[in-house]
C-alpha cells in the first residue's frame, strides 16, 4: 500500500509483441480487470490487465467518471481526446501514441490504452534537451493536436530507441494552448518527412477516415481548428514558435 492508501502498482509485465490491429481488438473486446491505481495521476488512472482468449496485456484505463473538471476543457471529454490523439498518431505512421480505444469498463466508459514499459535507464532531462528524431516528430504531432501538456514525464523511451508519448487528454482545444518541453526546433524548417505526413493528415482530415472518426470524438469546431493547424504548418513550413499569450512550458515540466 502507498501512503495514500492506494494499492502499490509496479510497472507490470511488458506488453506482448503484437501488431496494432491485434492490440486494438484486445483492448476493445477483452475483459478488463483492475489491478491498482496510479496515484500520481491527477485523474483516476487505473492499471489493468485485459484478456481475450489466449491474448493478454497490461493496460491503462481512465474512466470518464474519474476525470477532474477543468476550467478550459468541457467536462467528460478527456478520454475521447486521448483516443483522438491516437487516431491522429496512427495516420502519421510515427507510432507516437500507444494503441488506445474508447470502451466500457468496470467504472463506466473511458479510455483504455496499451501499457508501455519505459526504459528506466534513460535520463529524461538529457532526452528532453536532445535532438532525437523521435522527439522532433513528436513536436510536429503536438503542434497538430494542440497539446497543452507535453511534460517530460509523458515521454516513454523504449530500449530500442523509440519514444512513445502519453497523456493526451488536454489536446484539440479551439484556442492556441501548445505547451511543451520540446521547443528546440522552434522556427526551424520542417523536415521533408514531416511535410509529407502533414499532407497526408490534410487529406485524411478533409475526406478520409480520420476526419470521420474525429467527428465522433471532437466537436465540429475542434475538428475545423485541427485542420487549420495542419494547413498553417504546411503554409509556413516551419515548427511553431511559443505563443506570447500562453505559458510555453507546462508546470511542472517533468
User: 497490461: which residue's cell?
Assistant: 58
pLDDT in tens, the chain (254 residues): 333 333 333 333 334 468 999 999 999 999 999 999 998 888 999 999 999 999 999 999 999 999 999 999 999 999 999 999 999 999 999 999 999 999 999 999 999 999 999 999 999 999 999 999 999 999 999 999 999 999 999 999 999 999 999 999 999 999 999 999 999 999 999 999 999 999 999 999 999 999 999 999 999 999 999 999 999 999 999 999 998 888 899 988 98
The three-point CA angle 153-157-162 to 5° equals 140
C-alpha 114/C-alpha 156 separation (Å) is 13
pTM of the model: 0.92
C-alpha 117/C-alpha 7 separation (Å) is 19
What is the predicted pLDDT for the residue at 124?
Answer: 95
In the chain, where are the structural domains located?
A: 20-236
What is the predicted pLDDT for the residue at 181?
Answer: 97
Give residues with Cβ within 8 angstroms of 174, minimum separation 6: 221, 222, 225
Cα–Cα nearest to 249, from 147, 172, 164: 147
Cα–Cα nearest to 164, from 110, 238, 89: 89
What is the predicted pLDDT for the residue at 245?
Answer: 84
C-alpha 232/C-alpha 237 separation (Å) is 8
Decide if 177 contacts 41 (C-beta within 8 A). Answer: no
C-alpha 198/C-alpha 206 separation (Å) is 12
Amino acid at each position: 500500500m502507498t501512503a495514500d492508501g492506494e494499492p502499490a502498482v509496479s510497472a507490470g509485465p511488458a506488453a506482448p509483441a503484437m501488431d496494432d490491429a491485434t492490440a486494438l481488438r484486445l483492448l476493445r473486446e477483452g475483459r478488463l480487470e483492475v489491478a491498482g491505481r496510479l496515484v500520481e495521476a491527477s485523474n483516476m488512472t487505473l492499471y489493468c490487465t485485459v484478456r481475450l482468449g489466449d491474448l493478454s496485456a497490461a493496460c491503462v484505463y481512465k474512466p470518464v467518471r474519474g476525470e477532474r473538471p477543468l476550467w478550459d476543457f468541457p467536462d467528460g471529454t478527456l478520454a475521447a481526446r486521448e483516443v483522438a490523439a491516437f487516431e491522429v498518431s496512427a495516420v502519421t505512421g510515427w507510432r507516437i501514441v500507444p494503441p488506445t480505444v474508447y470502451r466500457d469498463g468496470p467504472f463506466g466508459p473511458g479510455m483504455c490504452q496499451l501499457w508501455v514499459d519505459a526504459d528506466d535507464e534513460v535520463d529524461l532531462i538529457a532526452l528532453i534537451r536532445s535532438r532525437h528524431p523521435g522527439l522532433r516528430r513528436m513536436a510536429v504531432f503536438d503542434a497538430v493536436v494542440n497539446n497543452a501538456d507535453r511534460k517530460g514525464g509523458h515521454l516513454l523511451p523504449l530500449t530500442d530507441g523509440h519514444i512513445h508519448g502519453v497523456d493526451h487528454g488536454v489536446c484539440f482545444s479551439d484556442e492556441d494552448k501548445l505547451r511543451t518541453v520540446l521547443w528546440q526546433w522552434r522556427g526551424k524548417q520542417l523536415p521533408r518527412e514531416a511535410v509529407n505526413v502533414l499532407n497526408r493528415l490534410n487529406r485524411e482530415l478533409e475526406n478520409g477516415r480520420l476526419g470521420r472518426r474525429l467527428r465522433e470524438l471532437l466537436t465540429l469546431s475542434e475538428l475545423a481548428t485541427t485542420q487549420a493547424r495542419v494547413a498553417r504548418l504546411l503554409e509556413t513550413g516551419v515548427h511553431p514558435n511559443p505563443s506570447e499569450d500562453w505559458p510555453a512550458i507546462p508546470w511542472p515540466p517533468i
